Amino acid sequence: MQVILDMVISLNGMVAREDGQEDWLPFEGWTDFIEESKKYDNIIMGRETYDKVTEFYQDHNFDDVPVSEKIIVTRSADFKAPVGYTIVHSPHEAVSYLEAKGFKSLYLIGGGVLNAEFIKHALVTDIHLTVTPYILGKGRPFLAQSDIEARLTLKDSKILSNGRIRLLYSVNEQGE
């Protein structure tokens, strides 16, 4: 199973301000995300990522992403699935659910805590980063602090508009 972690980050690895705002990101990044998500026909996000994006961006958020499966991972047993979403309670459950639906590739879109959990459990096979030329001194990192390590291999890179760079990495097996 291929699990692609895809994030847009600042030059210093932040995905959002401390309060979750992403107002520093260029709008074409949203357009790029929509196109990329169509390739996989699914998105997996943490509950806080879902909450913050739908709170701050009511005119364009995950509700507008044209994929057949939208997964929210939460530890809360009380969180109710919004219409069009499926709730799971762990990275393994997200993988099992989509695998049972016949998906070969999963598209993980954050946040940092969920990203770190997927990596901790050796579920991520690829990391795709779009680096935006912006520095956020304080914010939410694309990987929450955790006792994780992973060696990556650069597969491709390309320069995008507005000084952004797209980096595609594969995650090496442990010991490689």
Sequence-distant (≥ 6) Cβ neighbours of residue 71 within 8 angstroms: 42, 43, 44, 45, 85, 86, 87, 88, 94, 97, 98
Q: The CATH number of the domain where 13 resides is what?
A: 3.40.430.10
Residue 153 sits in which domain range?
A: 2-171
pLDDT digits (tens, 9 = 90+) for 76-133: 989 988 899 999 999 999 999 999 999 999 999 999 999 999 999 999 999 999 999 9
What is the number of other CB atoms lying within 10 angstroms of the CB of residue 21?
Answer: 15
Total structural domains within the chain: 1
* 176 is a domain residue: no
- The rounded distance, in Å, linking the Cα atoms of 57 and 171 is 32
- What does the chain come to in residues? 176
Q: Which three-class secondary structure state does DSSP give residue 37?
A: helix
pLDDT digits (tens, 9 = 90+) for 32-57: 998 999 999 999 999 999 888 888 87
* 86 is a domain residue: yes
Is 107 buried (19+), middle (13-18) or exposed (0-12) by CB count in 10 A?
buried
